[in-house]
Amino acid sequence: MSKQDGSSRQVTTGPVDDSGTPILHVDMDAFFVSVELLRRPDLRGKPVLVGGTAGRGVVAAASYEARRYGVNSAMPMSIALRRCPNAVVLRGDYRRYTEYSGRVMEIFRSLTPLVEPLSIDEAFLDVSGARRLHGSPAEIAWTIRRRVLDETGLTCSVGAAASKYVAKVASSRAKPDGMLVVPAADTVAFLHPLPVSVLWGVGRVTEQSLLKLGLRTVGDVAGMPADALERAVGPALAGRLARLAAGIDPRDVETRRVEKSIGHESTFHHDLVEPEEIARELLRLATDVGVRLRRADLLARTVTLKVRYADFTTLTRSRTLAEPTDVARRIYEEALVPLADLVGDGRRVRLIGVRAEHLRAAGDGAPLWDPDEDWRDAERTIDEVVRRFGRGAVKPATLVRPAAESAAPTVRDGDAPDGHGPDDDPPPGLRTFW
């Protein structure tokens, strides 16, 4: 049995048929903010934002009290504070968030080995094999919520369903601090009244295309003739939306996810013009990408550069490598080639990014000739020093500069939510390279 309150929140409150709902989606509630409130309990019940306030700082997370003002993550902080001027803004602490994420994921894995983390604060679980030890899916969902609260002081929302897609929709409907089980037989009845925006692949542009056709709910999409839907959004997306609208999602929970790409990008507090300064920020980003590749034991065959100008025109350029790499130096040098054509001549750059793509496991065959062997050994040695002594212990010499000279990039894809990264002020005794 489930009930819906005055908002869109919907939770399970009594006995329910969960026999065909082995997939759970667990999503932490306002995770970054909730972790901060553990040490700032005086801020509970108040609008709280995590993120940067200087220049083009963005909101990394917003409490539910702040969201009532129309504030959400990834929103420029300046806009968020105009909408909610009484909000309390806190700098993030990514190491602390990572610690709590690890504790939560361990709780999940103590109940089932089939855990697929989606991000630092959410995961899919397949509990079909855990019934004998831990009970039905609904009972396991209750156990997860209780243990997360008891062992971390945080709350989470859980959706249980027959598929990953429906479980994720259910967890979002149960927020905050709720649980919603969607019986397999009720999947279509649950989905069809919901707005088209809940369908994966429907962003603002696609949503507007569907609304123009009079398609406002998932049920409307399900009842649309296939050829008309294809004309509106294209055959590939039309087929996927039709399947999702019918509750069809055959994907399994994957315990080992191989990332399709790894990237970092930065939006600057002030537009950059000088190519040397832009290249220095590119080096910082490439360094972070290389570290993440090595941690994941992955190699990249393609390097993609992204440049966004002051007028928001955005260009990307990709280069395919002769041999796949996890070396930051190689990633940087490859991205520098197209960068030379995209900056200079007074062009003002708002954002740059670098992404490693076409990834493969590092152990899937070694190249006959490794042009980056020396650099790879050096960077792995640096990884070990950083592991022992912390970030900032070693960095490229080019990135060692007075804080006043820093371009101070705002957090974007892949960066820590407090905006800190390898370009923080160097500690005493800093060792450098490059």
Instruction: State the Cα–Cα distance between residues 10 and 278, nearest whole angstrom.
Output: 48
The number of CA neighbours under 13 Å toward the Cβ of 7 is 10
27 is in an annotated binding site: yes
Catalytic residue chosen out of the listed positions 36, 65, 116, 122: 122
Q: Is 122 considered catalytic here?
A: yes
Please tell me whether 252 is known to bind a ligand.
no
Q: Are 294 and 326 in contact (CB under 8 A)?
A: yes
Which residues are paired to 263 by β-bridges?
Answer: 355
Phi, psi of 227, rounded to the nearest 5 degrees: -70, -35
Task: Give yes or no for a contact between 422 and 391, defined as CB atoms under 8 angstroms apart.
Answer: yes
Beta-carbon neighbour count of residue 412 at 10 Å? Answer: 18
Q: Is residue 76 within 8 Å of 16, Cβ to Cβ?
A: no
Q: How far is CA 69 from CA 46, 86, 256, 347, in A?
A: 12, 11, 39, 37
How do strand 48-51 and strand 88-90 relate by DSSP bridges? parallel
In single-letter form, the type of residue at position 333 comes to E
Say if CB 97 and CB 30 are below 8 A apart.
Answer: no
What tokens were used for 28? Answer: 């932490």
Residue type, 105: M
Peptide bond into 176 cis (omega under 30): yes
Using CA atoms, how far apart are residues 293 and 357, in angstroms rounded to an integer?
A: 10
Q: Is 333 helix (H, G, I), strand (E, B) or coil?
A: helix
**Could you tell me which residues are annotated as the binding site for Mg(2+)?**
27, 121
Question: Any idea which residues carry the catalytic annotation?
Answer: 122
